[in-house]
């Protein structure tokens, strides 16, 4: 599974927000951020608390890795695709 790297905004931390690690977390806006590099923030809901976080998919390649579920699935699919394109039956 890919990992979505999130960063607290300046002045925020788990401590300042009162997060304990026991919260149920929901994240909104991931698809928009992955598809549009100009969108950099998601809304996080931790139980009754809502706040924004910066998504650290800093390059198109980072977004591709995340979209594919991580580096290993991305590379595996690329290898499979290359093999299909070079196989004699594909010609």
Residue 45: φ, ψ to 5°: -120, 120
pLDDT in tens, the chain (91 residues): 568 899 999 999 999 999 999 999 999 998 888 888 788 999 999 999 999 999 999 888 888 888 888 888 878 888 888 888 887 765 5
The residue among 70, 74, 24, 30 whose CA lies nearest residue 47 is 24
Range of the domain at 35: 6-90
* pTM of the model as a whole: 0.74
State the total domains in the chain: 1
**Residue 44: per-residue pLDDT:** 96
- Note whether residue 72 is domain-resident: yes
Strand order in the sheet with 49-55: 6-8, 49-55, 41-46, 25-28
Distance CA 65, CA 61 (A): 6
Residue 47 domain flag: yes
Domain assignment present for residue 51? The answer is yes
Q: How far apart are CA 25 and CA 49, in angstroms?
A: 10
pLDDT in tens, 60-71: 888 888 888 888
Which helix (H) or strand (E) element contains residue 67?
helix 60-67
Q: Residue 61 domain-assigned?
A: yes
Question: Is 1 within a domain?
Answer: no
pLDDT number for residue 26 = 95
Q: What is the pLDDT of residue 90?
A: 54
């Amino acid at each position: 599974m890919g990992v979505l790297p999130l960063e607290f905004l300046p002045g925020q931390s788990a401590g300042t927000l009162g997060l304990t690690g026991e919260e149920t977390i929901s994240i909104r806006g991931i698809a928009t951020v992955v598809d549009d590099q100009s969108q950099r923030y998601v809304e996080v809901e931790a139980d009754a608390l809502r706040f924004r976080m910066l998504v650290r998919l800093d390059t198109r390649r980072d977004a591709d890795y995340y979209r594919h579920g991580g580096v290993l699935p991305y590379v595996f699919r690329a290898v499979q695709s290359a093999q299909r394109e070079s196989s004699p039956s594909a010609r």
